[in-house]
Amino acid sequence: MTGQKKTCEYKFHTEFQSHEPEFDYLKSLEIEEKINKIKWCRRQNASHFLLSTNDKTIKLWKVFDKSLKVVAENNLSHDLTPANAVGGGGGLPRAPRIPLKDASALKLPRMTHHDTVVAAVPRRTYANAHAYHINSISVNSDGETFISSDDLRVNLWNLNIQDQSFNIVDIKPANMEELTEVITAAEFHPTSCNWFMYASSKGTIKLADMRQRALCDEHQKLFEQEEDASSRSFFSEIISSISDVRFSHDGRYIVSRDYLTVKIWDVNMERQPVKTIPIHEHLRPRLCDTYENDSIFDKFEVVFSGDAENVMTGSYNNNFMIYPTDSSKETEIVLQADKSAFKAKKIDFNKKILHMSWHPFEDSIAIA
């Protein structure tokens, strides 16, 4: 090991078309090909497996190195020429007469390696299980199952069964006029395959145990911070909606992101978060502007570092921030994913860092 810092370089590996535009003739709605979520499955061999989903359909993809082979030399390789392959009358090509002294002179066609390309093939397609737009998928630690969630339901799938799923959460009321909240995100516990959590537009996080009952409408734990009534406004319900929620790698902590804050929760303490981090607080007086241009509905992600010592989330102007999870530390690292980072600019709501991932072992990140 040397003391020199090494820069992280991402090299292009492959690309492929995951989904195509579709049309729901029953509801007369066009289904975009836009991908909502991508999740890696546990690697079992030299191939990679990943789940991708648009609004309605989930697909399991196998990405692997494919060897291209061609036919090597055989008996006809040198003898089949225009001079001896075409008859004297200029007719169709005919096989040349090759004198064979014995069977050992016969060369059978042989395949040889020509090139290696990265290929992607769909292994499973999980469709027709969600009436509303899919917002989350999460692979279980058992490596066999995963969950998918839309606005009102969470479904449990087996990776090997594409035509059947089990509904484990259903918050749809009998009368849709009584609907007060929707599911915004869901994730499995990183080590306990029976635990999963889902967040809502009311700013709540519910932890459920699949061992308790088949339909997990009754949660085991509820993480919610009471709102100060004096600070309530027209935008309170919108900005309190949780856009993303994640477990730390050891499962001890939960991090959630709403429009203006990041909250870090201890799984053993439901009453209040151990730390609340304000994000782009300067936009609070400008919520009317963000409402008019629909920026207030942007869904920012949040992630833990591999050691759970830091969290990272995004903002506007292509900014992304890193914060320590320790409640006694108030440091903030603001970085900009832009070559012109040193020029002062107005807030550009079209340039935003919504998606991100942190390497589980190294100090490497990917943002988009």
Evaluate whether 211 touches 197 at the Cβ level (below 8 Å).
no
**Tokens representing residue 335 in the block:** 């970085």
Report the side by side order of strands in the sheet with 195-200: 183-188, 195-200, 205-209, 221-223
Domains of the chain, first to last: 34-71+110-224 (2.130.10.10)
Residue 128 region, left (φ>0) first, then alpha (ψ -120 to 50), else beta?
left
0.85 exceeded by pTM: no
| Per-residue confidence (pLDDT) for residue 134, from 0 to 100 | 94
User: What pLDDT sits at residue 210?
Assistant: 93
pLDDT at 108 (0 to 100): 73
Terminus-to-terminus CA distance in the chain, angstroms?
31
Low-confidence ranges of the chain (pLDDT < 70): 1-10, 73-105, 338-346, 356, 362, 365, 367-368
- How far CA 111 is from CA of 19, 116, 118, 247, in Å, comes to 34, 14, 20, 49
Q: Which residues, in sequence order, are bridge partners of residue 310?
A: 324
Q: Note the pLDDT tens digit of each residue in 106-151.
A: 777 778 878 888 888 999 999 989 999 999 999 999 999 999 999 9
Which residue intervals of 167-314 are DSSP H helices? 236-239, 287-292
What is the per-residue pLDDT for 85? Answer: 47
Among 257, 262, 252, CA closest to 242: 257
Contacts of 107 (CB under 8 A, 6+ apart): 73, 74, 75
How would DSSP label each residue in 242-259? --EEEE-TTSSEEEEE-S
Fill in the amino acid letter for 46.
A
What's the gap between Cα 171 and its chain centre? 24
